[in-house]
Structure 1
C-alpha cells in the first residue's frame, strides 16, 4: 500500500477529492498527472505486439491521463471499473446497448432525462427492444411490471425536472430477484451525496459535464460498474470505440478537486432560495427534495448525504397564462442565464416541458421553471428572481 492510500484511508470527501487519481511520486513529484495525447503506442518487439499485454496498446484503450480520472471515479463510486465517454447522454446509451438485445423488455422511470427517453423511443425500439415507463413512486410495485423478458431497470433519483425520489434499494433488490440489470443516472447527487452501487445498483452514470466539470466548458460522461457487470460494460465500450480525450480528462480531474466545496455552496444557496420561494404567494409549489414539505423528503433524508443546486418551482398562473407568464418571468432575469445544462458556477433558468410523461403526472397550477443556483451571492440571486416575479405579475 502506497503512502497515498494510507493517507486517504478513512479521509473526508474533500481530502479524497484533493488527492485521488494521481500519485506525484509516479511523475517526478508533479502534483497533477501529465496530459498524454496518444493514438499510436509502440511495442518493444514483435512478441510483445503479438501478446498485446503491455499496459497501453492504443489511445482509445486509455492513457495515463484518462486512467488517473478513472481511478478517481472508481474510488468515489466504489466501482470495479469506470469508462469515460464524450457526453452525459453517451453515458446512458452505452450501458443500454451493452445489456439489451432484440426482444428484451426494459423498464424506464417516467421522470427520466428527456434525451434518454428519446433514445429509448427511437434507437432501442428500432432495435426491437420493448420499452415501458413506470411511475417513479412505484417502489415495491415494480415487481408487478417485470416480465419474463425484462432485462434492465433504469432509475433516476431525483427525477429530472420534477425531482421525485425513488426507493433505490427496494427496486434494485426486486429487479435482481428476476435477473435484471439495474442502472441509475446519479448526475444530480454525484457520488459525494449518493452512492448507487451501495444501494444495489449495478451501473451508475453521471453527466460529468455538470458538477465534476463545474465550469460549463466540458462535455463528458462517467459510467461505473460493480464487479459482476464490469467486463460486459467494458467490452461493449471497446467494441463501439468511444472514448474521452486526454485534454478533457485532465480538465475534468482538475474540476473534480473542487467539486466538494462547490457542491456545499450550491446546496446551501439553493436551499435558501427554495425556502424563500416556498413562502411566496406567486409560487404554487417548490420541487426540492431537501424541503420537509416535499413528498419524497423522507427518502432523501434517509439515503442521501446532501442536495445539489438544481430544483424546480411552479409559477402560479391560469391555464391561459402559462406561456405568457413563464416567458415574462424568464425574460426579466439578468443574472440567471437562459441555457441548458447545469452544474457550472453560474445560475441558469429554463422552462420545463412535461408533455412527454406517460404515467407520472406533471405538477398543476402553472408553468414549471427549473433553476440552477450558481455560486453568486444569495442576495443577488433573490433580487434577480424578484424582477422575474414582478414581470410575471404584470402579465
Structure 2
C-alpha cells in the first residue's frame, strides 16, 4: 500500500496536529460526539462515570467538564451534572431517586412545571405526590411517611416569593431517614444563583439551578445543573442522566462559562436595583403588598434575614383589590422599558401578570399579582416607567 493518500482520504485523515502550549482566558469549545481512543485497551479502561477521561460526547468534553467543576465550586458542592434545561434537571433528580410506590413532597409555591411533572409521576408512574405549605418548616416531619424519598423545596417561590425554613426541613428529613431509606431534600436554588443562599451549608442534599438565568445572563441559553456533595448520590444521578440521554451543546456551555466571571457583579447590581424599585413600590397607594424577601411584607422575611446574603432582581407585588385583572393587564401593556416575558437574570427588565389564585391552594390575597424582574437599566428610569404605567389605572 502506498503512503500517498488520495485527495478524498487526505481531506479526512490529515497528518497535521496543532502545536501544544496554546493558552488563552476563554475555555476552548470542544464539539464532539465521537471521542477517539489510542487503542482498544484505552477504550476498555475508561469509565464514563468517574470523569477522569472521555468516552463519548454525551458524557462530557473538556468544555462541559470545566463548566460542571466551576458550578460545583460556586455552590460549595463536589459534583455537578448539566442538563438541557432547568426542568430537565428537575426531572433527572425525580427519576434518579423515585420509583413506583415512593412518595414525593413538593411545596405549594413550587415552579409550576415541577408541579406538572409531579402530577405526571403520580398519574402514570405509581409515585404519590403531595403538596405542602412552603412555610411549614419543622412541621414537615408530620408529613414524612415511611415511603417518602424526596422533598423538593424552592427558596423563595419564584412567583409568590415565600421563603421557607430550609434548615428545619432538612433536619426533619434527616431525623426520619433510616439505614438505606434516606429522605433526600432537593432545592430549586435558581433565585439566588448559589450566591445568595449556600444550600449545602444548610443541610440540603441536592441543589438544582436553571443556568438559563444569572449564570448565562444573556437571555439566550437554556440549561440546567444538578449539584451535590454526596458521592453515592451523584452515581444515581449519573445513571439517570445517561439513561435519559441528556447532553448540552458545547457552544451553550461556552456561553455560560463566559458569563460566570461577571455573575456576582451582575447579581449584586440586579439586587440593588430591585430593592430600590421594590421600596418605591411599597409606598404607592395602588400596591397592597410588595413580595420581596428583603422587605418585611414578604412571608418568610425573617428566615431570609437569617439564612440569605443577597436577593437578586426578582420580586412580585399585589395590587390593591379594587383593581381588576383588566386594569392590571393594561398596566403591564403600558410599560415601555419592561418587556413581557418569562424567566429572569438577563440585562432587560421583565414584567408578567399571574393568575395566582388558580395556582395556589390556600391563597387569600384578592388583589392581582404582577411579577417584576429588574434588569441592569438605571433603577430611576424603571421607576419612571412604572409610574407612567400606573397612571392608566
**Scaled by the length of structure 2, what TM-score is found?**
0.90
Shift of 1:236: 1.3
Q: Which stretch has the larger CA shift, 170-179 or 248-257?
A: 170-179
Asked if 1:31 corresponds to 2:25, the answer is: yes
Q: Residue 326 of structure 1 aligns with which residue?
A: 328
Measured after TM superposition, the shift of residue 124 of structure 1 is 4.4
How far did residue 260 of structure 1 move?
Answer: 0.6
List per-residue Cα deviations over 1:334-378 (Å, max 9, x = no partner): 11000111110000000112245454x335141000000010011
Structure 1: which 4+ aligned runs deviate by more than 6 Å? Answer: none
Q: Distance in 1 between matches of 2:358 and 2:77?
A: 33
Q: For residues 355 and 365 of structure 1, what CA distance do their matches in structure 2 show? A: 8
1:80-110 per-residue CA deviation (whole Å, 9 max, x = no partner) reads 2101111111111110111011111111011
1:285 counterpart SS class: strand
State whether residues 342 and 372 of structure 1, in contact with CA within 8 Å, keep that contact through their aligned partners in structure 2. yes
Which residue in the other structure is 1:207 paired with? 210
**Aligned mate of 2:340, from 322, 338, 341:** 338
Cα distance between partner residues in 1 of 2:194 and 2:333: 35
Q: What is the rounded CA distance, in whole Å, between the counterparts of 1:220 and 1:40 in structure 2?
A: 22
Distance, in Å, in 1 between the alignment partners of 2:115 and 2:357 is: 12
> Is 2:109–2:360's contact at 8 Å kept on the other side of the alignment?
no
For residue 64 of structure 2, give the secondary structure of its aligned residue in structure 1: helix
Q: Quote how far apart the aligned CAs of 1:218 are.
A: 0.6
d(CA) in 2 for partners of 1:28, 1:221: 30
Secondary structure of the 1:192 match is: coil
Q: 1:297 aligns with which of 297, 301, 305?
A: 301
Report 1:45-64 matches (<5 A).
45-53=39-47, 55-64=53-62
Q: Does 1:191 align with 2:194?
A: yes
**Does 2:380 match 1:386?**
no
Work out the CA distance in 1 between the residues paired with 2:21 and 2:360: 53
Per-residue CA deviations over 1:14-58 (Å, capped at 9, x if unaligned) read: xxxxxxxxxxxx963211111000000111112222223470010
Pair 1:102-2:100 in alignment: yes
Alignment of 1:164 onto 2:162? yes
Structure 2 unaligned residues grouped into runs of 5+: 1-19, 178-182
Partner SS for 2:195: helix
Could you tell me which residue of structure 2 aligns to residue 3 of structure 1? none
CA distance in 2, matches of 1:295, 1:37: 46
Aligned partner of 1:267 in structure 2 is: 271
Structure 2 equivalent of residue 84 of structure 1:
82
How many residues end up aligned between the 2 structures? 364
* Pairwise CA RMSD: 1.5
- The answer as to 2:119 corresponding to 1:117 is no
Which segments of 5 or more consecutive residues in structure 1 lack a partner in the other structure?
1-25
**What is the CA-CA distance between 1:155 and the residue it aligns to?**
0.3
Match of 1:210, SS? coil
Q: Whose Rg is larger? A: 2
Is 1:233 the counterpart of 2:237? The answer is yes
Which of 135, 139, 144 is 1:137 aligned to? Answer: 135
Distance 1:305 1:241, change over 3 A: same
In structure 1, C-alpha distance between the alignment counterparts of 2:107 and 2:296, rounded to whole Å? 24
CA distance in 2, matches of 1:256, 1:341: 18
Give the match for residue 349 of structure 1: 351
Give the whole-Å Cα distance in 2 for the aligned partners of 1:61 and 1:353. 41
Match of 2:223 in 1: 220
> Are residues 125 and 178 of structure 1, via their aligned partners in 2, closer, same or farther at CA, if it must alter by over 3 Å?
farther
Partner-residue secondary structure (3-state), 1:191: coil
Superposed displacement of residue 125, structure 1: 3.0
